[in-house]
Structure 1
């Protein structure tokens, strides 16, 4: 076992200890089994626990990682487990679990297992060292199915899909027992190191939703709520957020706190301080109820890709047209036209621009079929070229909405007089981030559990109209 260098002891690093328990979290976020079963609410916690192989102990020596010092990573992960067991969520979704370390894996599996959780772990592809762990408490849910999603071709990321059923029936006094089924997904998206990786992250989410859609169709599960949990490595202003919103998903934390998708509400909370020192909100627990309007998946994907293309054009125009007071759509059209003859964008010029921007021709970029599909969507008239009007309608100023009207979703609380044939879903009862400072958009310097904040959401089952 390596000894810490002498300078390490001069750093203001504190050995992790269990943070003081928040009385509000203990009260609000499913702290006790009896209360949970009585009102039939369930809870979910997502937490990127920062794998020791990635945790830097010093800015002076970037190669000095926590994984080199057993006492450090063991103490910190013991504290993380203490917090998880104290919150006692029905479902726990962890990211960046150091799955290559057998001692740490055994620690999580034993302590969570002894507390009544059934654990599922999944390593990232190509031996990256870390992965996912999803724990489901057997007192609240029974496991019906478990599937792995491997993204070998998309940044070596993975996702877990679990189909679970509530142990406690939703209806008391019904002629037949009704147990709510849920699809749970745990994932960790790629970090956007540069703009070209926006496409990769979008492709990862698209693949997840494709898998869910296929699974629902194969198992006739159209009337089942879906919960997506994890580290999405993108904020509320990003294309992944907009893509999921266009598919009907809602951010549980924002719903609980009545935050909108507006720019004014984008920075009211944070959940991560990244390796660049930036703080932002990237950890989400998404909810999709079965009565939500959903666009065709391919349509949402197309809109998101065109949004990325527009963003890249704007960024490049800002570099080349700094003397211009504004970014006009005429300049943007000319920029995408490249060397195409006439006042049209030709397919070759379209492909040339995408290749220059790193969106195609890369291992994780758009494939030939994707580009042909996008071109067909932009070439509305089908004449083999995209004129200015088509460019404006499809790419620059589209008339689609990013998400459906939320007023269309209605529900009523479950009661004893519920009929047998009905659709069930969830309402967001509460949502809490820890430590409390992050709920006000600040990152506390004395927080040492991780570079992410755990998010816990409490759901109540509801009858959907």
Structure 2
């Protein structure tokens, strides 16, 4: 089983030179030539599954090009447009001689980013070794770009919606034994809360697994996969793997709350220095419900622009009051933040090592690589022009 994920940079977003108004979509020769080269690369890789983001669904000629060339190569295609006529969306292509698609569902996030996800139930056509045909739940998605400081919260909510949907999808189809692959452009690095949230639920990055990158700090910038329109390079494209024997006992909502507290901590630290609790107190001995609401609003995490709802803030207050005395004191605050930090770091190191030796219904990461190879060394080659993202390909075996 092999999978390639690639944000192919929709021509409607691809800038030409330094002109903010000029887009590649206005030059047919440019976008057609570039996408032919993208297809050449994808067909050369010959992956079992191809997950594309920023696929220009509004252009019939480009859609027909991909349909024709992928169809001729034996791929079945599934497309999903972003909501509100954004023009682009997702394309997932499955090699028919390798896998059967037993179900395909669409997930609409219904938020300001108009983002979507595809969820597929796949089954191998042939037996893999001594076991029956391999079954996999695969997700293709593209989370929102961090246009504003509180968009980290929006990305986290999108990731939560995906995992909640997958949880129901697996229960509905009795797929507790099936591994999960999350593919796409996550628009966040290894130091972000989405990464920590997924790790807390047992997911591992296939590329980091293949390269044995265990140290989140030392290895955070070993590789890059994206150069954004500001010229910054970062690693945002992942193929996440969750094996059935790595399911976490921590409830999904609990992991989400811990990740939100991580975002709150970073927001306070960025705005008011290291003493986040001192900011909460404002000269008082305890933090009340009203204090918490006011503090969340001051760092733009409350209600406006996809911030926390009043119900979510109340949920966080209950979670923060660890001794259930009706207020949040310094001990509650420190225990909460220290527990959040320790929990995901512990899972990061333990999970990566343990997953290497798992058997049974699990998948093992056999190989993973980016193209072009320079991005694996943390640099972005000026000669690379297929996209502003690097494709990631990973292969798996029992």
TM-score, structure 1 as length reference = 0.82
- SS of residue matched to 1:132: strand
Matches within 5 A, 1:427-446: 427-446=364-383
CA–CA distance in structure 1, aligned partners of residues 94 and 8 of structure 2: 17
1:242 corresponds to 2:199 = no
Partner of residue 297, structure 2: 355
2:56 to 98, 102, 105: 98
Contact persistence 2:201–2:255 (CA under 8 A): yes
- SS of residue matched to 1:142: strand
Partner of residue 322, structure 1: none
Partner of residue 230, structure 2: 276
1:304 to 233, 256, 259: 259
Partner of residue 75, structure 1: 33
1:372 to 311, 314, 337: 314
Q: Shift in Å at residue 293 of structure 1?
A: 3.8
Contact persistence 2:221–2:234 (CA under 8 A): yes
CA–CA distance in structure 2, aligned partners of residues 357 and 168 of structure 1: 54
Q: Shift in Å at residue 222 of structure 1?
A: 1.1
CA–CA distance in structure 1, aligned partners of residues 358 and 196 of structure 2: 28
1:219 corresponds to 2:173 = yes
Q: Shift in Å at residue 217 of structure 1?
A: 1.6
- SS of residue matched to 2:20: coil
- The CA deviation string for residues 256-296 of structure 1, in whole angstroms up to 9 with x for no partner, is 01112421101111000001100011000000000004121
Q: Shift in Å at residue 424 of structure 1?
A: 1.1
1:426 corresponds to 2:384 = no
Structure 2: gaps spanning 5 or more residues: none
Matches within 5 A, 1:24-103: 42-59=1-18, 61-103=19-61
- SS of residue matched to 1:383: coil
The number of residue pairs the alignment matches comes to 393
Contact persistence 2:288–2:327 (CA under 8 A): yes
Contact persistence 2:303–2:310 (CA under 8 A): no
Contact persistence 2:50–2:92 (CA under 8 A): yes
Q: Shift in Å at residue 357 of structure 1?
A: 1.5
1:228 to 182, 195, 199: 182
Task: Out of 145-154 and 240-249, give the one that drifted further.
Answer: 145-154
- The CA deviation string for residues 329-382 of structure 1, in whole angstroms up to 9 with x for no partner, is xx32121234xx730111111111111212112242222221111110001222
CA–CA distance in structure 2, aligned partners of residues 249 and 261 of structure 1: 16
Partner of residue 3, structure 1: none
Residues 243 and 138 (structure 1), Cα distance of their counterparts in 2 relative to 1, 3 Å cut: same
Structure 1: gaps spanning 5 or more residues: 1-41, 319-326, 414-422
Q: Shift in Å at residue 167 of structure 1?
A: 0.5
Q: Shift in Å at residue 193 of structure 1?
A: 1.8
Contact persistence 1:45–1:456 (CA under 8 A): yes
CA–CA distance in structure 2, aligned partners of residues 190 and 296 of structure 1: 25
1:203 corresponds to 2:147 = no
CA–CA distance in structure 2, aligned partners of residues 117 and 390 of structure 1: 54
- The CA deviation string for residues 240-263 of structure 1, in whole angstroms up to 9 with x for no partner, is 111111110000000001112421
CA–CA distance in structure 1, aligned partners of residues 358 and 267 of structure 2: 44
- The CA deviation string for residues 393-416 of structure 1, in whole angstroms up to 9 with x for no partner, is 113664641053224446467xxx
Root-mean-square deviation (CA, aligned residues, Å) is: 1.5
